[in-house]
Amino acid sequence: MMLSRTSRLNLGLGACLSCGLATAAADAPSVHVYNWYDYIGATTLKDFQRDTGIQPVYDTFDSGEVLEAKLMTGRSGYDVVVASNFILPALIKAGALQKLDRSQLPNLKHLDPVLLEKIRANDPDNQYAIPYLWGTDGLGYNVDKVKAALGSDAPVNSWDLLFKEENLAKLSQCGVALLDAPAEVMPIALHYLGLSPNSSNPDDYKKAQALLLKLRPYITYFDSSKIQSDLSNGDICLALTWSGTVFGAKQAADQAGKGVKVEYSIPIEGAPLWIDNLVLVKDSQHPAEGLTFINYMLRPEVTAAATDLALTANANKDATALASAEVRNSPNIYPSAEVIAKLFTLQPQPHAIERVRTRAWSNITSGR
């Protein structure tokens, strides 16, 4: 995951596209797609229909938990969805996804083998998932406000900025936000404590809970949808969030021209790497059209358009050169090999541990 990566587009965009495309001839072949609401090029759906004659019926979501629940219950009505790497094992185990007929996906040749290898941790034989866009969890911050609170030597490149109580106490005066995402925040806390981010030891979660409860009085809110706007407006000065969210906030702040300086850092201790993937739903009513859509999304120019819009790296080795220089040259969007080596992927946990984590998160967010 995961929850939404950025919120640069109005939620209504997906709905409007869906409504507009639904007016196409009723007898036209169709494909039903469920995606994050900012994860496709501005003209891609229209271009796809023009080029293939297939009508895309497109819906959007901003919560990975919503997506997972919809697929787990079955009969979602979708053919292709975009699923984050850490929920893939559960979906595969539940039989919610189809194995992909790779002979129908000639554009697989464009995929980056490094990202294909990374996703093997969640899709062992690369049978179900096609890596699409990827990024990191890290720290988004207001340059001037953090400097005012902590001085010019503020540890903006370290998790100490967030997890050291003396730092957070000062930053609380200008606003601190965390993703409302226990499956991501709890592993980061575990990692900071020197424990496995994918621990299956209940005692480890007690330690992570204790750390976060100590910090709870200084956290303004837990939310996954308003961090971008609050960062760009200067309403908060620190956020644990997704990379794309911060890049969107920075772009919005720069365009507003009000002097709000937003930056992003991948902490030197390491951070989660998430990969969002194109998958084919098991009970798809239009599997052939679904494969056609996936293959179309693998066109370098199509992937590049999504990268530029989402301000997020892609897994298409031939698309990066087509992306804007601003995106492809950003070390936070496309980190160095040294930084990538410290990134870790998240794994689903047994139900017993999920319950422990859920209870811990409830205690943390409520301050109990």
Tell me the C-alpha to C-alpha distance, in Å, between residue 319 and each of 45, 109, 264, 277, 300. 18, 12, 23, 16, 4
- pTM for this structure? 0.85
Axis crossing angle, helix 300-310 with helix 287-297, rounded to the nearest 10:
70
**Distance separating alpha carbons of residues 228 and 242, to the nearest angstrom:** 10
Residue 225 pLDDT exceeds 70: yes
**Averaged over 317-340, what is the pLDDT?**
93
155 burial type by CB count under 10 A (0-12 exposed, 13-18 middle, 19+ buried): middle
% residues pLDDT > 90 (the chain)? 79
- Residues with Cβ within 8 Å of residue 105, at least 6 apart in sequence: 130, 291, 294, 295, 298
Give the rounded distance of the alpha carbon of 81 from its chain centre: 14
Residue 52 pLDDT exceeds 90: yes
**8 Å CB contact between 311 and 262:** no
Domains of the chain: 12-135+273-335 (3.40.190.10), 136-272+346-366 (3.40.190.10)
pLDDT digits (tens, 9 = 90+) for 72-106: 988 889 999 999 998 899 999 999 999 999 999 99
Residue 5 pLDDT exceeds 90: no
pLDDT digits (tens, 9 = 90+) for 10-51: 333 444 444 444 444 456 899 999 998 789 999 999 999 999
The per-residue pLDDT for 266 is: 97
Q: Which residues pair with 272 in a beta bridge?
A: 344
Q: Which is it for the CA torsion 55, 314, 91, 16, positive or negative? A: negative
The per-residue pLDDT for 26 is: 56
**8 Å CB contact between 179 and 224:** yes
Residue 247 pLDDT exceeds 70: yes
